[in-house]
Amino acid sequence: MTDSNMDQLWPLFWEAAWETLYIVAITLTLGGLLGLLLGLGLYVTRSGGLYASRPVSVVLNVLVNFFRPIPFVIFIAAVQPFARVVVGTGIGNPAIIFALTLAAAFGISRIVEQNLVTVDPGVIEAARSVGASRARIVRTVVLPEALGPLVLGYTFAFVALVDMTAVAGVVGGGGLGNFALQYGFRQFDTVVTWTAVIAIVVLVQVVQLAGNTTARRILRR
């Protein structure tokens, strides 16, 4: 214990924790929104969907299937040129936020689609039978009926994003993952590594608990 530098590292730790929080918060918001739109697109264009369209569905599926399986650490490198164009830099937190937002959008789109397909087609038919428009049905039936599972899905996405931020260091990004690798793992300082680990675990637990509670309230069970 006496070998550990943790005593001196607390300011850096708090900075790293804050970085993880804001990177995840921004990417979950932006990527979550993009993912929601993309997921809605996947859902409504499915065969039998409200806007069933085979060509659009195929295009969206190919797009999502192309990007989603790329390991994030490689994805960062792959989209770096685009990051330079869009956020003006290929390194640091802006580049990480850019890559993470894109990756999150593709991942979340599938989560959204999976949750929306569980909405009973019968309630959609009931809404159609009273003359509701398709856009209204998406807004007032599909999303509210799937809200509970969607909250759980986004909670899952949050945890996945925390996981993905760990590799931010490869392009000079910060966060708890980078902190653990740089000051813990590479300095053979187990205390530092485990401090970061515990912080991540606590963060994930708190968010998961909040997500579960919210979903339970929505689902009333």
Partner 1 sequence: MPLVELTDVHKTFPAARGRTPVEAIRGVDLTVEAGEIVGIVGYSGAGKSTLVRLINALETTTSGSVQVDGREITGLKERELREVRLGIGMIFQQFNLFRSRTVWGNVAYPLEVAGVPAQEQNARISDLLHFVGLADKAHSHVEELSGGQKQRVGIARALATNPRLLLADEATSALDPETTQEVLALLRRVNRELGITIVVITHEMDVVRSLAHRVVVMEAGRIVEEGPVVQVLSDPQQPVTRRFVSTIVDDEPDAEALAALHARHAGRFVKLAFRGDEVRQSDVFAVLLEHGVRFELVFGGIEEVQGETFGNLTLALDGDPAAVDAAVDAVRALVPTKELAR
User: Which CB sits closer to partner 1, 77 or 147?
Assistant: 147
* Widest distance between CA atoms in the chain: 72
Question: Of 21, 70, 123, 207, which one interacts with partner 1 (CB under 8 A)?
Answer: 123
Residue 131 binds partner 1 (CB under 8 A): yes
CA 192 → CA 19, 107, 164, 204, distances in Å? Answer: 17, 31, 20, 19
Q: Which of 14, 59, 71, 120 binds partner 1 (CB under 8 A)?
A: 120
Q: Which stretch binds partner 1 (CB under 8 A): 86-94, 121-129, 150-158, 167-175?
A: 121-129
Among 46, 93, 109, 145, binds partner 1 (CB under 8 A): 145
Show Cβ contacts of residue 173 under 8 Å, excluding neighbours closer than 6 positions.
Answer: 19, 23, 91, 92, 93, 95, 96, 165
- 28/116 with CB nearer partner 1: 116
HEC assignment per residue over 88-123? CCCCHHHHHHHHHHHHHHHHHHHHHHHHHCCCCHHH
Name the site residues for partner 1 (rule: CB under 8 A): 120, 122-123, 125-133, 136, 140-141, 144-145, 147, 220-221
